[in-house]
Amino acid sequence: MRWFSHRAAVAAASVLSIATQSQVAVAESVNGNAVVANGTSFALNGDNVSYIFHIDPATGDLISDHFGGSVTGAIPAAAEPIVNGWVGATGRIRREFPDQGRGDFRIPAVRIRQSAGYTISDLQYQSHTIVQGKPGLPGLPATFGSEEDVTTLVVHLHDNYSSVAADLSYSIFPKSDAIVRSVNITNLGEGNVTIDALSSLSVDLPYEELEMIYLRGDWAREAHRERRKVEYGVQGFGSSTGFSSHLHNPFLSLVHPSTTESQGEAWGFSLVYTGSFAVNVEKGSQGFTRALLGFNPSQLSWTLRPGETLTSPECVSVYSATGIGGMSRSLHRLYRKHLIKSKFATSDRPALLNSWEGLDASINASNVYQLAEESAKLGIKLLVMDDGWFGNEYPRDDDTAGLGDWQVNQAKFPDGLGTLVNNVTALKAANTSTPLRFGIWVEPEMVNPNSTLYHEHPDWALHAGDYPRSLSRNQLVLNVALSEVQEFIIDSMTRLLKSADISYVKWDHNRGIHEMPSPSTDHAYMLGLYHVFETLTSRFPDVLWEGCASGGGRFDPGVLQYFPQIWTSDDTDGGERVAIQMGTSLAYPPSAMGAHISAVPNQQSSRSVPVEFRGHVAMMGGSFGLELNPEELHEDEKAALPALIQLAEKVNPIVLEGDMWRLALPEETNWPAVLFISADGTKAVLFAFQMRANIDNSSPWVRLEGLDAKAEYRVDGGSVYTGQTLMSMGLQFVFEGDYQSRVVMLDRV
Ligand code: DGJ
């Protein structure tokens, strides 16, 4: 039996340190009972979650006890495993940081190759430290919070045979029911060691049936939700593309087979990283489920010289007893408040018009200005000039040339960029005195061989000796691990942003990694990229930055640290977007999604969807906009746009700050529905959709969730119903035809 004290904080100092497990008999409680340690046992407690582990006195190993609903007082010890086969005791227990080579045959969280060639480790508890607040991670994006928001426990492990130390850092955000873990590996020996594998999080859950939920996709069909049984053996996914990728997202959820959107237990794991990654779920022979999220071992091979440290990215874990929806809302709240650094995280996202689908790369000063004039007439507040504006010796007329040469093309913009921006920002959005803002597209990590940059610096592109450099979209990737490349990007973007009144940047990235000088370039690139992001976003805090990678190829928490929004997909078909945006919302707040109305037939799917449906879907994203040339629209579509823009502006604050309730999923019904409830609970907006015409049948009621049962709500300025009624009975809509939709406002009376 172990015991966790729930007395109020006893620590006057903000940093407590315990040298050995035997020294401390009295439990320490820090920040209320956010972290409770008694020297051999540790508990992290949130409002509705407890995460508990202890030190095995015989081996110094860290043993997991519990990750789930709140635990109070004494906890029962796990039964001693009966060792009766050739899987030894270490293969029959739940371990916090499984190392390699000593009888646990499941996937290890760390594999260290010593100079002698061994890959064995024996990492034993040495001491621990508790810190109020959360220290940053050197060079990596990380969640943050004040001393009241978060408490951090660092457990120091040491391998006496190899002189390698590992620090496991656990931070608890009690209000978000979130525990964040990262790992430091330090070489304290005299020879080099190589880290071949390192997971930020490894969690062993007890013997029970579980299912895994994750996001898969490809270009223009990102974030499709998959759910399947966790089978005996290893199952997993990841990315080896050098970025988080369209193919899989660095996110995993584990649930019980009976868990639904609104009921049951759900664990969510989200890796705060943008590079290649690996997620593995292993159900071992004893029935425990181990989940690991971290670096992709095929692209790590990280050498540590004496005294050096490798810090893993951090992994966020949340627990929900209120289904998959509860898990998502915890992640959303955490990310809005404790991950996204931009001042625009939950505010001021102007309705925009992006030139890409309307004009392609065929842009010049006159057609961009015309687009701006048309935009202003519709009530748009920000004009974004996409690809095609740069390159002189190698003009960017299409995707074969120009990347790397970040100077405005003088033939297309004879009076320069500054003049165009001044002209655009002199326009006023219809019926307002709001000046139009100007935004610009860049893709700074890339180079076309047809560019001045490549001719001057061919060595800056990724390459491995004389191996041919594989082109994709006619471009190569700059080796952002090199400091001269980082400086080039920082300098050229700084020059661009100082050259005109630019208030928005769309930062694109349109291909995967290719020939690298070594596997470790993958992570070195990320450290370089984060340095570039950090420098530029702190230098230009008033710029609204948008991430993009051929759509949502880099929709991850690493990017969100610096950019408050990401272009969700190049698929702008409203019908397809319902699933893409609802899938993305599994892990990421809708505030972070860019979503636009484009023209029909849609450029990706050739489908024609009514403009209202396209608009309603787009306004579920925090950054609403248009991606079309208004001059080419049908008159009735054009006429519908001002009202849609106004409605988007009305619902935007609720989408940016509020909680999202996925009421009905597109993969399960013809009538997907989503409810957003404002942070203070006084307003809500319901989106109800019909995907396909439902001939001569009735339509289902949409039951609302998350309202205050006792409160009353006025629906669309008319009838008043109680929250209880709206949640028990719901609202019903009559739809006629394919792709129909309704947006309904609720005001608490
Ligand atoms: C890919 C992006 O996802 C598009 O929105 C557009 O910016 C193009 N690149 C431009 O090349």
Q: Is 510 annotated as a binding residue?
A: yes
149 is catalytic: no
Q: Give 81's pLDDT tier (boundaries 50, 70, 90).
A: confident
Is the distance from CB of 596 to CB of 625 less than 8 angstroms? yes
- What is the CA(355)–ligand 1 centre distance, in A? 10
Residues 357, 334, single domain; the answer is no
Q: Give 407's pLDDT tier (boundaries 50, 70, 90).
A: very high
- Quick check: 45 pLDDT over 80? yes
Query: Whose CA is closest to 662, among 622, 681, 689, 700?
Result: 689
Q: Is residue 274 assigned to a domain? A: yes
Please indicate whether residue 510, judged by its CB atom, sits closer than 6 Å to ligand 1: yes
Q: Is residue 36 assigned to a domain? A: yes
Q: Is 387 annotated as a binding residue?
A: yes
Residues 331, 382, single domain; the answer is no
The continuous run of DSSP H or E covering 676 comes out as strand 673-677
The end-to-end CA distance of the chain, in Å, is 51
Determine the Cα–Cα distance for residues 289 and 279; give it in Å rounded to an integer. Answer: 13
Phi-psi region of 479 (alpha: psi -120 to 50; beta: other; left: phi over 0): beta
**447-496: pLDDT as tens digits:** 999 999 999 999 999 999 999 999 999 999 999 999 999 999 999 999 99
Residues 132, 203, single domain; the answer is yes
Q: Which of 204, 508, 522, 573 is catalytic?
A: 508
Structural domain ending residue among the three candidates 563, 595, 616: 563
Q: Is 636 annotated as a binding residue?
A: no
Structural domain ending residue among the three candidates 563, 586, 607: 563
Q: Tell me what pLDDT residue 26 has.
A: 53
Q: Tell me what pLDDT residue 20 has.
A: 34
**622-673: pLDDT as tens digits:** 999 999 999 999 999 999 999 999 999 999 999 999 999 999 999 999 999 9
Task: Tell me which residue has its CA closest to atom 6 in ligand 1.
Answer: 356
Determine the Cα–Cα distance for residues 666 and 580; give it in Å rounded to an integer. Answer: 10
**670-721: pLDDT as tens digits:** 999 999 999 999 999 999 999 999 998 888 999 999 999 999 999 999 999 9
Best of 352, 389, 508 for a ligand 1 pocket test (most atoms within 8 Å of beta carbon): 508
**Nearest atom in ligand 1 to 627's CA:** 5
> Mean per-residue pLDDT for 329-354?
97
Taking residue 517's Cβ as centre, other Cβ atoms within 10 Å add up to: 13
Q: Is residue 676 assigned to a domain? A: no
Pairing of strands 593-598, 720-722: unpaired
Task: Tell me which residue has its CA closest to atom 10 in ligand 1.
Answer: 387
- What is the CA(361)–ligand 1 centre distance, in A? 10
| Beta bridge partners of residue 546, listed in sequence order | 506, 565
Q: Tell me what pLDDT residue 19 has.
A: 32
Is the distance from CB of 406 to CB of 493 less than 8 angstroms? yes
Residues 316, 420, single domain; the answer is no
Structural domain ending residue among the three candidates 293, 323, 338: 338
Best of 363, 385, 386, 602 for a ligand 1 pocket test (most atoms within 8 Å of beta carbon): 386
- Quick check: 15 pLDDT over 60? no
> Mean per-residue pLDDT for 209-233?
97
Best of 567, 568, 572, 604 for a ligand 1 pocket test (most atoms within 8 Å of beta carbon): 567
Residues 496, 552, single domain; the answer is yes
Q: Identity (one letter) of the amino acid at 652?
A: N
- Give the domain extent around 324: 18-338
DSSP states of 515-572: --SSTTHHHHHHHHHHHHHHHHHHH-TTSEEEE-BTTBTT-SHHHHHH-SEEE--S--
Residues 415, 323, single domain; the answer is no
Residues 396, 505, single domain; the answer is yes
- The DSSP output letter for 264 is B
Residues 252, 378, single domain; the answer is no
Best of 398, 443, 550, 628 for a ligand 1 pocket test (most atoms within 8 Å of beta carbon): 550
- Quick check: 6 pLDDT over 70? no
Please indicate whether residue 572, judged by its CB atom, sits closer than 6 Å to ligand 1: no
CB contact burial 193-210 (16+ within 10 A = b; e otherwise): bbbbbbbbbbbbbeeeeb
Instruction: Name the packing angle between helices 365-378 and 635-657 (round to 10°).
Output: 70
Q: Is 336 annotated as a binding residue?
A: no
Q: Which of 570, 571, 573, 659 is catalytic?
A: 570
Q: Residue 291: which residues within 8 A CB-CB, separation 6 or more? A: 201, 202, 203, 205, 252, 254, 269, 279, 280, 281
Please indicate whether residue 570, judged by its CB atom, sits closer than 6 Å to ligand 1: yes
| Beta bridge partners of residue 476, listed in sequence order | 447
Give the gyration radius of the chain's Cα atoms. Answer: 27
Please indicate whether residue 550, judged by its CB atom, sits closer than 6 Å to ligand 1: yes
Q: Is residue 270 assigned to a domain? A: yes
Tell me the CATH number at 311: 2.70.98.60
Please indicate whether residue 551, judged by its CB atom, sits closer than 6 Å to ligand 1: yes
**277-298: pLDDT as tens digits:** 999 999 999 999 999 999 999 9
Q: Is residue 616 assigned to a domain? A: no
> Mean per-residue pLDDT for 180-191?
97
Q: Is residue 609 assigned to a domain? A: no
Residues 349, 414, single domain; the answer is yes
- Quick check: 597 pLDDT over 90? yes
Task: Tell me which residue has its CA closest to atom 1 in ligand 1.
Answer: 550
Residues 267, 351, single domain; the answer is no
> Mean per-residue pLDDT for 360-369?
98
Q: Is residue 284 assigned to a domain? A: yes
Q: Tell me what pLDDT residue 23 has.
A: 35
Q: Is 507 annotated as a binding residue?
A: yes
Express as a percent the part of the chain with pLDDT over 90.
Answer: 91
Residues 148, 55, single domain; the answer is yes
Q: Give 149's pLDDT tier (boundaries 50, 70, 90).
A: very high
**Nearest atom in ligand 1 to 399's CA:** 11
- The DSSP output letter for 169 is E
Task: Tell me which residue has its CA closest to atom 2 in ligand 1.
Answer: 550
- Quick check: 726 pLDDT over 60? yes
**Number of domains within the chain:** 2
Residues 284, 333, single domain; the answer is yes
Q: Tell me what pLDDT residue 13 has.
A: 26
Please indicate whether residue 387, judged by its CB atom, sits closer than 6 Å to ligand 1: yes
CA-angle at 645, arms to 423 and 540, nearest 5° = 50
Tell me the CATH number at 489: 3.20.20.70
Please indicate whether residue 571, judged by its CB atom, sits closer than 6 Å to ligand 1: no
Q: Is residue 634 assigned to a domain? A: no
Phi, psi dihedrals of residue 373, rounded to the nearest 5°: -60, -45
Determine the Cα–Cα distance for residues 674 and 671; give it in Å rounded to an integer. Answer: 10
**Nearest atom in ligand 1 to 386's CA:** 7
- What is the CA(102)–ligand 1 centre distance, in A? 50
- The DSSP output letter for 74 is -
Across the chain, mean pLDDT equals 95
Is the distance from CB of 36 to CB of 4 less than 8 angstroms? yes
Query: Whose CA is closest to 420, among 378, 381, 363?
Result: 363
Please indicate whether residue 598, judged by its CB atom, sits closer than 6 Å to ligand 1: no
